[in-house]
A and B are shown apart, each in its own frame.
Chain A
Amino acid sequence: QLHLQESGPGLVKPSEALSLTCTVSGGSIFSSGYYWGWIRQTPGKRLEYLGTIHDSGTAYYDPSLKSRVTISMDTSRNQFSLRLTSVTATDTAVYYCVTTRDSSGTPSEHWGQGTLVTVSS
């Protein structure tokens, strides 16, 4: 059974970069057939898709966040990561790492438990 676990700072200052890592267990992120992505949920409970990456290293991002988002993989550690630059209070959310079926970013069959990131000085 695939298990995903997010880790990273829970507090980030405005204008700085948010960095999170997802550690995958119960399967390899390389040649698994999955894509590996990130979704966040705002305090108002709205779900927002950030992007996804294939084990080829090709990443696909939501157009509205593309200039600030980078998703990368470390197959040796069975991890993938999210970096979001120039954060503001509107980036405060619970961040989930997920699997996606393809480059479209849908659907997400496996989710981590989520990690709350607050943007505040």
Chain B
Amino acid sequence: SYVLTQPPSMSVAPGKTAKIACGGNSIGTKTVYWYQQKPGQAPVLVVDEDGDRPSGIFERFSGSKSGNTATLTISRVEVVDEADYYCQVWDTSSDQVVFGGGTKLTVL
């Protein structure tokens, strides 16, 4: 089955840029989605197909992909961005929806 790998945690200072990686075989050929989850809340879609942002999501969030890595970039990080972030794809080969294990972002 298809596997997505994310670093368990990362930290960034306020005002800096956070880049959260999601590794998967030929992920650059797949549609990648990103979710933000704050404690006690349901996940929220923050990056949609082709790196687009859903309505209401800050423009500081963007997505990119190439080869075996997809990246969620959060520019000018704020304390409110502290959360868990998950990547998601649909693997056509196995017909499975796959989530990465999540990355806990700490804003120092």
Interface residues of A (CB under 8 A from B): 45-49, 62-64, 96, 104-109, 111-114
Q: A112 CA to B89 CA in the complex, in Å?
A: 21
Q: Is B86 an interface residue (CB 8 A)?
A: yes
B96: contacting residue among A45, A62, A114, CB under 8 A: A62
Closest to B49 in A: A107
B48 touches A111 (CB 8 A): no
A63 touches B45 (CB 8 A): no
Known: A45-B84, A45-B102, A47-B86. Is A104-B42 also a contact (CB below 8 A)?
Answer: no
B90 touches A106 (CB 8 A): yes
Q: Is B64 an interface residue (CB 8 A)?
A: no
Q: Is B14 an interface residue (CB 8 A)?
A: no
A107 touches B94 (CB 8 A): no
Q: Which B residues lie within 8 Å of A47 (CB)?
A: 43, 86, 88, 99, 102
